[in-house]
Amino acid sequence: MDAIGKTDMNYSPESLQAFAQAVALGSFSAAARKLGKSQSTVSEAIARLEADLGLELFERGGRQPQLTDAGRSLLVRVEEILAASDRLQHAAARWSEGVESRVSLAMSDAYQSSRYETCLAELEARYPDLEFECLIAEHSDVIELVEQGRADLGLLAAQGRYPPQLGSAAVAERAEFGLFVAQGHPLAQKTDLALGDLAGWRLLRLNTVGDTLAIDDGLPSSGGRCWSAPSYLMLLEMACNGFGWAELPRWLVAGYAPGRLAELDVPGWPRSQAVDALWSRRRPLGPVASWLLERLLGRQAAFQGGF
């Protein structure tokens, strides 16, 4: 095929999704189950993509297909195309007729922004008859709620990678986390602390219900002396009661426990954390959810003129 033919070629979304899912899940059969397709359909879709590209994306000699060097390199480009497709769907939804009656947002306590309050005020004024639901969740629980369709959008502390069926974008604001203990806790009286010095004291750690992500928060092990909870607000209450030390969003401490907790002075803390917005590529967002997503991302100008 000549260069012009390759330039004009269109790659089917099904082939790109099959490739991304196979990479993420490690096998064609797992990708087929996730996509609700037969394994032969997924294999054929990937084979068509390889034929269109003129490249082998997987080495199929072993028990499980392994990415070739070309496959590893082109995976980034495939993800970029899928992301561009998401943006096109969102733009089309904003201009299409029909507005959904209900929107659900799953959000982490890590996210706190004056933009959110402004968005809700605008949402109420723009769509007064809308049923809006806010779910508080963290890490993998946010991901599962969006994957299952329980939430249209999610906001969470940024993860390294997401399942390929989810789209993501960074919001403008970052979260600030610190290490906190009750004012009367022995650690509150110590100075010149290093992170390793906390290992001898009970850690209050976030542990989501879904627990599908291997979260490496860099906190020292407490030798099994660890209590956990699925929300930062519950960890805050544990810390206020003197049960141990915890990593907490600083805004949450300032808003819900002023004067009750001491922030530990440890090198490298407080730390700044990026926050991502999530949506499902398998269920295109409606006009209201698309509008809310863009506003949370700080893209107000895109909506001048309305729908």
Which amino acid is residue 215, in one-letter code? I
Question: Which of 57-66, 104-113, 195-204 has the least mean pLDDT?
Answer: 57-66
pLDDT at residue 84, as a whole number: 87
Cis omega (within 30 of 0) for bond into 220: no
pLDDT band at 224 (very low <50, low <70, confident <90, very high): low
Q: Where are the domains of the chain?
A: 3-92, 99-174+274-303, 175-270
Tens digit of each residue's pLDDT (9 = 90 or more) over 162-213: 999 999 999 988 999 999 999 999 999 998 899 999 988 999 999 876 654 4
The mean pLDDT value for 99-120 works out to: 90
CA atoms within 13 A on the CB side of 93: 20
The mean pLDDT value for 285-305 works out to: 74
CA atoms within 13 A on the CB side of 158: 15
Mean pLDDT of the chain: 87
The CATH classification of domain 3-92, taken from the options 3.20.20.10, 1.10.150.120, 1.10.10.10, 2.70.170.10: 1.10.10.10
What residues contact residue 168 under an 8 Å CB cut-off, 6+ apart? 162, 276, 277, 278, 279
For 45, 76, 112, the CA distances from 28, given in Å and listed in that order, are 10, 19, 40
Topology alike, domains 3-92 and 99-174+274-303: no
Strands 203-206 and 245-249 turn out to be parallel
pLDDT at residue 29, as a whole number: 92
The mean pLDDT value for 228-239 works out to: 95
Containing H/E element for 180? strand 166-182
* Tokens read off for 72: 């590893």
Assigned architecture for domain 99-174+274-303: 3-Layer(aba) Sandwich (3.40)
Domain 175-270 coded CATH 3.40.190.290: yes
Residue 302 has pLDDT above 60, yes or no: no
